């Protein structure tokens, strides 16, 4: 720690998500953003001015940031395919890491990041999943950990946008690596793996498509900017059947574009009970014959996008300050990349893909 109280943070990448990080760090009173780097000329300087960072602490090369600025931690906010190098270098420089999801766009990059994290000893590598800090998800995780569901043997991981292709670098293989799978599907996979106890995947059978986006007429608009059909290089829809080492299975459904308002809600089934989200509901029937018990949680306070983000940034900063482990288990997050790798390889080959959770 710099002074035992203040957590000094640098930010690598100065795009939209970096501004989100910077803005929510302001809600943590013991955090100070002290530097920024972005490969685009002038972009780091603009961000530094907006965030109140000294002009001399803005760089085009993130390695200069790591070398020249005293800091405890780094937020890595580059596009997916640029996660590996700054994460590995920052870990080697002894920094704690808050890494934007996904851990990496490719399995090989995720493996390299995991090896660097292991070699770094006690450094935190936290991949940022802000829904983990919602009251609904925290309660659901507590219910599962309490044993209420018994042994979980089935889960469905679901995210659905009827029409929400984001545009920009999200649509390009060179920058994003994949589409809805690594953008929104990654949240669904992480949540479901957590609810299932993070079992190790062994096989994946999947399909992906971008048939709707490729047929789109005119100009679409999304988070990343304007786009046309010819810009879409990645999948808008993915579905998969995942087998785990313990015999459990998971179904995945995720979309940027689909002709449906809903593809269902996330849920898990266990030997003693079941649980679904949106809203959080628990189903039990413990030797009571035909008497089925259903409980919808009523006293959870709805938490906004802002509240979840503040929870995430605070949890990371507190772990850095207090010498605690990552608030989100790093080994468990690596399993998300194992699943995604299986989805992409299976979809490409048209056959089931074997996967192995090793790095």
* Same domain? 42 vs 149: no
pLDDT tops 90 at residue 220: yes
* Same domain? 113 vs 156: no
pLDDT at 131: 96
* Same domain? 166 vs 279: yes
In a domain, 73, yes or no: yes
Which distant-in-sequence residues (6+ apart) come within 8 Å of 299 by Cβ?
none
* 297 — pLDDT class (breaks 50, 70, 90): confident
pLDDT at 288: 65
* Same domain? 267 vs 178: yes
pLDDT at 75: 98
| pLDDT tens string 95-149 | 999 999 999 999 999 999 999 999 999 999 999 999 999 999 999 999 999 999 9
In a domain, 199, yes or no: yes
Beta bridge partners of 203: 243, 354
Query: Cβ(274)–Cβ(149) under 8 Å?
Result: yes
The H-or-E segment that residue 239 falls in is strand 237-244
Of all residues in the chain, the percent with pLDDT exceeding 90 is 92
Closest CA to 301 of 324, 331, 280: 280
pLDDT at 29: 97
Structural domain harbouring 98: 7-129+308-325
* Same domain? 143 vs 47: no
pLDDT tops 80 at residue 2: no
pLDDT at 286: 66
In a domain, 330, yes or no: no
* Same domain? 98 vs 110: yes
SS3 191: helix
- What is the rounded distance in angstroms from the CA atom of residue 297 to the CA atom of residue 21? 31
Closest CA to 327 of 194, 201, 199: 194
Per DSSP, 300 falls in state P
HSE of 238 in the Cβ direction (CA atoms, 13 Å)?
34
Task: State the residue for tokens 């709707």.
Answer: 212
* Same domain? 282 vs 319: no
Q: How many domains does the chain have?
A: 2
Torsion, Cα of 358, 89, 315, 180 (10° steps):
-60
For the segment 268-278, the average pLDDT, to the nearest whole number, is 95
In a domain, 1, yes or no: no
In a domain, 359, yes or no: no
Model confidence, pTM: 0.95
pLDDT at 289: 67
pLDDT tops 70 at residue 1: no
The stretches of 26-157 forming alpha helices (DSSP H) are: 43-51, 62-68, 84-92, 107-119, 135-145
Beta bridge partners of 212: none
- What is the rounded distance in angstroms from the CA atom of residue 336 to the CA atom of residue 222? 25
pLDDT at 64: 98
* Same domain? 269 vs 317: no
Work out whether strand 273-276 and strand 267-270 pair parallel, antiparallel, or are unpaired: antiparallel
| pLDDT tens string 173-200 | 999 999 999 999 999 999 999 999 999 9
In a domain, 2, yes or no: no
The CATH number of whichever domain residue 72 belongs to comes to: 3.40.50.720
């Amino acid at each position: 720690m710099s002074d035992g109280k203040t957590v000094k943070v640098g930010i690598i990448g100065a795009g939209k998500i970096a501004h989100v990080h910077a803005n929510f760090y302001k809600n943590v009173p013991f955090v100070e953003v002290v530097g920024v780097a972005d490969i685009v000329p002038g972009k780091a300087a603009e961000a530094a001015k907006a965030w109140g960072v000294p002009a001399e602490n803005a760089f085009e090369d993130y390695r200069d940031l790591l070398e020249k600025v005293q800091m405890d931690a780094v937020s890595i906010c580059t596009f997916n395919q640029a996660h590996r190098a700054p994460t590995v270098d920052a870990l080697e420089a002894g920094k704690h890491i808050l890494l934007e999801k996904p851990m990496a766009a490719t399995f090989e990059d995720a493996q390299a990041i995991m090896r660097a994290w292991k070699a770094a000893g006690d450094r935190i590598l936290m991949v940022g999943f802000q829904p983990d800090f919602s009251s609904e998800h925290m309660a659901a995780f507590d219910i599962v950990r309490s044993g209420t569901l018994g042994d979980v043997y089935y889960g469905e991981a679901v995210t659905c946008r009827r029409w929400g292709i984001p545009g920009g670098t999200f649509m390009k293989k060179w920058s994003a690596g994949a589409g809805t799978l690594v953008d929104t599907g990654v949240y669904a996979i992480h949540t479901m793996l957590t609810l299932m106890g993070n079992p190790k995947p062994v096989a994946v059978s999947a399909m992906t498509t971008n048939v709707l986006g490729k047929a789109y007429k005119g100009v679409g608009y999304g988070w990343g900017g304007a786009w046309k059909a010819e810009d879409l290089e990645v999948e808008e829809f993915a579905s998969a059947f995942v087998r785990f080492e313990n015999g459990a299975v998971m179904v995945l459904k995720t979309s940027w574009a689909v002709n449906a308002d809903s593809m269902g809600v996330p849920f898990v089934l266990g030997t003693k009970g079941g649980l679904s989200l949106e809203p959080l509901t628990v189903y039990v029937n413990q030797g009571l014959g035909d008497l089925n018990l259903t409980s919808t949680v009523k006293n959870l306070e709805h938490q906004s996008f802002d509240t979840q983000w503040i929870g995430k940034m605070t949890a990371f900063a507190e772990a850095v300050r207090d010498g605690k482990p990552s608030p989100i288990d790093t080994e468990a997050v690596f399993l998300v990349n194992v699943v995604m790798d299986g989805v992409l390889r299976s979809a490409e080959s048209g056959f089931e893909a074997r996967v192995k959770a090793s790095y």
